[in-house]
Chain A
Amino acid sequence: MVKRVLAIVFILIIGLWMAKALDQVPFGEDRMLVGKYYLDHVKEETGAVNAVTAVVVNYRGFDTLGEVTVLFIASTGVAALLWKKRKERSAKTEGSVVLTTGARILLPFIMLFGAYIFIHGHLTPGGGFPGGATIATAFLFLYLTFTLYEVDHKIFEPLEGLAGIGYVTVGLIGLAVGGYFLFDWIWQTWGVGKENIGRLISAGFIPIIYTLIGIKVGTELTGIIDNMIKEPEEGGQ
């Protein structure tokens, strides 16, 4: 009881302190310094209509590379923590017929929608991470519905690595062409799609990188699900 009251008082003090600090920041006023530059120059410099993805992939590509690395480390870490030689599913009961049929019907649509999200990252809200998460959801659906389902590990892990390597390769080509890492060579040097800003083939390497990130995130989250849903076989190592 005393502990709980003390904790509540402590949190209230911290909240008051933060509210005091945030009180100085006016709400709804134009306080853009760097943001103004992004909004004014995003079209001619990157070709993307979606300014968020342009900032995330183009202006601040290093952050996205770091995020992808974090996800990769998370997936590898889970795999290393839960590693056992022989693993099998703990679930023994199959879902009902309605569920399995529903999964069969819905699965291609969910995958299609995920691919749509990451391919259109430069035009609509979304991008590689939501698209990849949607695709991983489709695989989670399969894992939850069927007892015997398992992804093909011979394809999945190499695909994950290849997508990551592809991202770094695109950045390295930029280094060779333009002089710095993650330089948008397709847009700045080649000028692909200069005329059709706002259509699918534009925005330089943003769609390419987002496709790679989408594949990578989808396979990574699926790998985490796969590792966590299986238990070591009894008598196994």
Chain B
Amino acid sequence: MSIASIVGQALVLFGTFFYVLSSLGLIRMPDVYNRMQTATKSATLGSLGVIIGVGIWAIGEVNSYSWISKTLIIAVFLLLTNPIAAHALIRAAYKSGVPLWEGSIIDKYKEAEASLERVEQIKEALGESAKEVEKNE
């Protein structure tokens, strides 16, 4: 057994461990946002471990370097797409009004939207008063 296959097997084991953690998080976490966090982060890391580990394992086991290039491409693609998908899902969940967990203390996004609305109202009021000033002159 060569070093490459040992490293590959270790990486696959590492990735599977994080898969298990991620599925545990799906059961354990209280609301959608927390679940998405555990599912995305640890599942991405686990997939990277498993995918690259298989590529390295193939170097040691069958002495072929064609696997590692393909697995690297898949890994980079996954690394690019998974966070984007998670971002879109969480954003859609927030916009469609999925409530936060009761224990969460702070919701800066809501505050920011409220303050933006207030800024718009002030702008409108300013515009109206400016028109009135023009009329008076």
Contacts and interface: CB of A to CB of B under 8 A. Distances in A.
A98 B77 contact: no
Chain A binding surface SS class:
helix
A56 to B, nearest CB: 24
Contact of A95 (B77, B80, B81, B88): B88
A105 B76 CA distance: 13
A98 B80 CA distance: 11
Contacts of A102: 80-81, 84
Contacts of B91: 96
Nearest to B84: A102
Nearest to B88: A99
Interface string B80-101: 1100100110010000000000
Interface residues of A, number: 8
A109 interface: yes
A96 B80 CA distance: 16
Nearest to A144: B88
A105 B80 contact: yes
Contacts of A7: none
Interface of B: 77, 80-81, 84, 87-88, 91
Given A99-B84, A106-B81, A109-B77, 13 more contacts: A95-B88, A96-B87, A96-B91, A98-B84, A98-B87, A98-B88, A99-B87, A99-B88, A102-B80, A102-B81, A102-B84, A106-B80, A106-B84
- The list of the 10 closest CB pairs from A to B, nearest first, reads A102-B84, A98-B87, A99-B88, A96-B91, A98-B84, A106-B80, A99-B84, A106-B81, A96-B87, A105-B80
